[in-house]
Amino acid sequence: PARGPFQPGSPSYVETEYPEYDLDEAIALHEEYKAKHGGPLTFTANIIPTPEIQAIAQTLQQQGEQAGLEITLNSIDQATLIANAITANYQATGFILFGAPSLDREYVFIADEPEGSPLNFTRNRNETIIEALDAARATDDPDARQAQYEIVQHEMAKDLNFIWLVHQVAAVIYQPNVHGLDKTEFPDGGDTGRIVSPF
């Protein structure tokens, strides 16, 4: 289970105020919602039809139902899902993002800069996030950059425009007669930053 864009153990990981799983609190908040809006919270979530994504979405749907929410899963092809996200044609949508070791690659998805960028799928505009990401880009000091990324992660935990579910796990698999893929240095001797576990 994920509580942010980075796994514990990552140099970029930050402990934030992202909410813990709390069914009793969810039920209480949903009762407030129903009293205010005259009925349960209902929404449709777009997902792609792969077994892994289906399983994750069905778990989320079941957890929502335990609190009384009515979640409909809309299984669509990836091209349509992306087009719907770009045009804001969704209520909730599953997406695989934040697989980089730095938040800089995710800038276009979270900064909304320029304002109204269609790649900021949630349409959330948080000036503190934009300023922190820009400050991170303006320095070559890794500690200063990480301090700015910490600000971003704390703000994302407050805004809650993303619900973190799981972390991506990637691998490169190769035959024993393929050589050199476990080399973790650039030709000039610099470290690539990759963690390689040959087997």
| Residue 40 parent element (H or E) | none
Sequence-ordered list of residues with C-beta below 8 angstroms from that of 90, at least 6 positions apart, any chain: 44, 46, 84
What pLDDT, on the 0 to 100 scale, is given for residue 173?
80
| Residue of higher predicted confidence among 162 and 100 | 162
Distance CA 108, CA 113 (A): 7
What pLDDT, on the 0 to 100 scale, is given for residue 157?
96
What pLDDT, on the 0 to 100 scale, is given for residue 174?
83
Q: Which amino acid is at 110?
A: I
| Residue of higher predicted confidence among 73 and 170 | 73
What pLDDT, on the 0 to 100 scale, is given for residue 197?
46
Q: Over the stretch 137-183, which tens digit does the pLDDT of each residue have?
A: 999 999 999 999 999 999 999 999 999 988 887 777 888 898 877 66
Mean pLDDT of 169-198: 71
What pLDDT, on the 0 to 100 scale, is given for residue 191?
66
Tell whether the model's pLDDT for residue 47 goes beyond 90: yes
Distance CA 179, CA 114 (A): 44
Tokens of 195: 């963690």
| Residue of higher predicted confidence among 68 and 173 | 68
* 131 burial type by CB count under 10 A (0-12 exposed, 13-18 middle, 19+ buried): middle
What pLDDT, on the 0 to 100 scale, is given for residue 194?
55
Q: Over the stretch 127-137, which tens digit does the pLDDT of each residue have?
A: 999 999 999 99
Distance CA 15, CA 68 (A): 29
Computed over every residue of the chain, the mean pLDDT equals 90
Handedness of CA 47, 13, 187, 177 (dihedral sign): negative
